[in-house]
Amino acid sequence: MMDLILPGLGVIRSTAGLLPLDACSDGRFRVGRDGVRHVLTPADRRVEFVVFDDRTLAFVNSSLGYPAYYPVHPVAIERPVRAVLMDLDGTTVRSEPFWVWMIEQTMGSLLGDPSFTLDASDLPYVSGFSVSEHLQYCIGKYCPGRTVEEARPFYFEHARREMAEILAGRGRADAFVPAPGVREFLLALKQDGIRVGVVTSGLYEKAWPELVAAFRTMGLGDPRAFYDAIVTAGFPMRAGEPGTLGELSPKPHPWLYAEVCRVGLGIPFEDRHHVIGLEDSGAGVCAVRLAGFAAIGMAGGNIPESGTRPLCQYYCESFEEVLGVIRGDR
C-alpha cells in the first residue's frame, strides 16, 4: 500500500500497519463500488475504515450483535490544551492482572472448576473489551453451550467481594498500582490549569475502588475532588443487571469520551482541538479518534500490536513526554 492522504485520518504511511480489505465485514461497502476508495482495518480488526473521496466512515463491529457506523472527523492539537481525557486501566492504573484473574474466577465458577486458568493466547481477548465481550469470548472457547447471562452473576459475585475488600483497605495489595509518573503528571496538569477527566469502559463499581486505591497510594485524597469529570460505563441494577450503557457501547465506540468532554466538562464539539485523549490500548485510541479528539498513545499497552499507532498524533514512552506534547515542547 502506498502512502495515502485520507479524509479524517490524515497521512497513512505504507508501513503504518493498516490492512487493506476488499469489503466491510458486514458486506455493506466494497472497494470500487458506490465511491468507496479503500477499506482499511488495524491489525486487531476492531474498527474498519471506509474511505471515500470526501469522507471516511468507521464501522465498529460487535460480538453482541449491535454494530455501528461513525463519521471520522479530522483531529488536531491546538494550544493551549484545555482538557486531558485519560483512560483508567493501563494508563492511569496498572490493573490488568487483577481483572484477568476476575475472568478466571468467573469461568471457574461457571465450569465448576476452581483451578481454571486462561491460556496466554486468551489474554488479547480478555483485555480492552467490555465484561460481556470478555465473557463471550471465553464461553465460545471453553463452554460454548453456556451463555453470557449465566456467567455475569458469577462475575459480579467475585468482583463485588474483592472490591469491598479493597475499599476496606484489605484485598490484594497489588491489585491497583498507579502507573509510573502519573502522580507528577496529574499535579502538573492541575498546576497548568488544565482540566482532567477520567474515562473507563468499566462499571462504576469496578472503577471507583481502583481510583480510591490508586489515590490512596499517591496521597492525592478523594478522586472526586481531584478530577473535573469521571465517566464510567454506568451502574448495574442487580437482578438481570440492566442499567448500564457501556456493555454495548464500550471503547472503541466514541460515547464515553464524547460524554466526559461535552457533558462532564462542558466543552462543545467545535472546541475539540483543544482537548486530547490519552490511551494505552488500540480500542481506546479508536474511541478517542471517533469522538473527534487527538489521541496520544502511551507505551506499555497494546497499541503497536493492535495496529492503531497511525491513529495517534503522538506516541510517548512516559508521562514526562506527554507533558512536553501538551505544553508544546515537542
Spatial neighbors of 150 by CB under 8 A, at least 6 apart, are 110
Does residue 77 belong to any structural domain of this protein? Answer: no
Average pLDDT rounded to a whole number, residues 148-163: 89
Average pLDDT rounded to a whole number, residues 78-91: 96
Average pLDDT rounded to a whole number, residues 311-330: 94
Q: What is the pLDDT of residues 260-313, one digit of tens each?
A: 999 999 999 999 999 999 999 999 999 999 999 999 999 998 899 899 999 999
203 and 288 in a single domain? The answer is: yes
Average pLDDT rounded to a whole number, residues 190-202: 94
Last residue of a domain, one of 167, 193, 227: 167
Spatial neighbors of 291 by CB under 8 A, at least 6 apart, are 254, 255, 257, 258, 261, 272, 277
> Structural domain of residue 11, as residue ranges?
4-71
**CA atoms of 246 and 120, how far apart (whole Å):** 26
Last residue of a domain, one of 149, 167, 185: 167
43 and 87 in a single domain? The answer is: no
222 and 288 in a single domain? The answer is: yes
Is 239's pLDDT higher than 60?
Answer: no
Structure confidence at residue 199 (pLDDT):
94
Last residue of a domain, one of 130, 146, 167: 167
Structure confidence at residue 38 (pLDDT):
95
Query: How many Cα atoms sit within 13 Å of 263 on the Cβ side?
Result: 11
pLDDT category at 118 given cuts 50, 70, 90 is: very high
203 and 270 in a single domain? The answer is: yes
Is 14's pLDDT higher than 70?
Answer: no
290 and 232 in a single domain? The answer is: yes
Residue 159 CA: distances (Å) to CA of 203, 207, 286? 11, 11, 27
